[in-house]
Structure 1
Amino acid sequence: MNNYTNDNTARRYKAHVSIYGTTQLHLKNPYIIAWWSAAFPGFGHMLLSKYLRGYVLFIWEVVVNVKAHVNSSMIYSFQGNIDMAKEVLDTRWLLMYIPVYIFGIWDSYRTTVDLNKVYLLAEREEHQFNSFSLGALEINYLDKRNPFLSVMWSLFIPGLGQLYIHRILTAFFVIIWLVVFYYYSHVQEAVVLLFLGKVKEATSVIKPAWLLFIPSHYGFAVYDSYINTIENNKLFEKDLRNHLTKNYQSKSFQILKGQKVK
């Protein structure tokens, strides 16, 4: 496959392949993206490949959530201890938390709607994009990957599925924060104690406020790797089809609608 570069000769491109990963436009459901932003601010934007905005919102969520004791309050609420849930909240941090949380949901929804429109315009323009990137640090190229393997590796360790499909920036970010969540929640210590049959010790060592971050982290890693594997496969097939049509198909070849080939 030829190596093209996005040289800004077109108004819009559907995709860009670099040593850091494959970034592409494709139709997304705004409600699903907004839901991921509600589940964890920053995830919706990362699904849109808006990495800088997503990283800022993600880090904001972790820092302010911990300072405001939002997760701790949620745990007390689940236990039916509403008075303690109110008491543990730090309103100084909470009043900063709520507006940014709402903004993340609204902005991811709005951006999804806009990017869907951009994708439709880029699809009509059908400008060639680079499909192979060779650099001193990495090699990246369009090819087909197995979505099942993406999910499997993400379930083992979040971030490995992204490494499998060469989403380097997301992979590093997810893996680094997984280590942070593991460390402060003491979940791995608790697992070892459970294997040893020490249930009370395992329960006492765990930090629930940090533990609540982990399910969303796993869910995002699985969903992101699965969806992007499928979309990358579609992009590869279409790029290959266009390449073969342009370079190998006879110009006189026609498909006549409504006529049977004898």
Structure 2
Amino acid sequence: MNSSTSTPRHPKAIISSFINNFIYIRNPYIIMWWSAALPGFGHIMLCRYFIGSILIIWEFYINSYSGLNEAILYSFIGEFEKAKEVLNPRIATLYIPVYFFAIWDSRRITIELNKMSILADQQKAPIFRAVISPLDLNYLEIRKPKMAIIYSILCPGLGQLYLHNYVMGFYLLLWWVITIFKSNIIPALPLFLIGDFEVSTSLIAMQWFLFIPSIFGFSIYNAFVASKELNKMFKLEQARYFNKEFANSSIFNYFMNQKTKGE
């Protein structure tokens, strides 16, 4: 604890009226996977919302402008001439270094944040239960991971809104709406359901359609993991409070002794 400012050297969690930001142990390979799926997602998983948002904007703009997704699709199905036609190699060249930077940087940050998380736990960095502002309030509580998953399946971004992560929730929701409209999936879906597969697939803009699995999967996974970690934060804050306020209480000691005898 820094005595001059009364703030922890290694903070564990900060909640505001519109967002939750916290540090916990993460698997670097999972973070790298999400950065590879769509640059920026790995940083979002690390609560690095600003740089993550910039990388996501870069991904959508450069990928779409270069025709990279469509070129990859044609390459997978063996139509290499079409892949050459749709790909802008000069723009695609700009994409490559940023893509690998996102993967490498997210791994580097994960390793450092894991170290900070261990130090924060050792120093018992304070966790604040609630924050109130003129516009909104936010507080730690037990949230259901299943509900976070269900909301994310209904519409990506809703799971984050359920967890009171308004900034990320609306950001994902915005990109989901843009992707759905740009991919033309809305007019194509009814035709697909009635069995008119040829016409429905011809309507779909594959360049934008290929963004959908990444956004959909990330929204579900991020909401699930965040809900589990928020619940851990709530229990940790509660345990520390009870230990601080009631550890020397005769009633507390009585019940603890009864529990010990029962075991």
TM-score, reference length from structure 2:
0.91
Q: Does 1:42 align with 2:40?
A: yes
Structure 1 CA distance for aligned equivalents of residues 34 and 111 of structure 2: 15
Are residues 99 and 8 of structure 1, via their aligned partners in 2, closer, same or farther at CA, if it must alter by over 3 Å?
farther
Q: Which residue of 1 aligns with 2:188?
A: 190
Structure 1 CA distance for aligned equivalents of residues 95 and 201 of structure 2: 29
Percent identity reads 38
What SS is found at the alignment partner of 1:23? strand
The answer to which structure, 1 or 2, has the higher relative contact order (CA under 8 A, 6+ apart) is 1
Cα deviations by residue, 1:175-209 (Å, 9 ceiling, x for unpaired): 00001101110111111223455433322211111
- Deviation at 1:33? 0.3
Structure 1 CA distance for aligned equivalents of residues 37 and 51 of structure 2: 16
- Deviation at 1:244? 1.3
Q: Which amino acid is 2:40 matched to?
A: G
Q: Which runs of 5+ in 1 are unaligned?
A: 1-6
Are residues 169 and 8 of structure 1, via their aligned partners in 2, closer, same or farther at CA, if it must alter by over 3 Å?
farther
Q: Which amino acid is 1:139 matched to?
A: L
Q: Confirm or deny: 8 A CA contact 1:147 1:229 kept in the other structure.
A: yes
Structure 1 CA distance for aligned equivalents of residues 28 and 86 of structure 2: 34
Are residues 8 and 87 of structure 1, via their aligned partners in 2, closer, same or farther at CA, if it must alter by over 3 Å?
farther
How large is the RMSD of aligned CA atoms in angstroms?
2.1
Map 1:62-211 onto structure 2 (within 5 A). Answer: 62-211=60-209
Stretch of structure 1 that moved more, 171-180 or 80-89: 80-89
Q: Which amino acid is 1:38 matched to?
A: A
- Deviation at 1:261? 7.5
What SS is found at the alignment partner of 1:96? helix
Structure 1 CA distance for aligned equivalents of residues 22 and 196 of structure 2: 48
Structure 2 CA distance for aligned equivalents of residues 147 and 27 of structure 1: 18
Structure 2 CA distance for aligned equivalents of residues 8 and 224 of structure 1: 32
Structure 2 CA distance for aligned equivalents of residues 94 and 181 of structure 1: 20
Stretch of structure 1 that moved more, 137-146 or 187-196: 187-196
Instruction: Indicate the structure with greater helix content.
Output: 2
Q: Count residues in correspondence.
A: 254
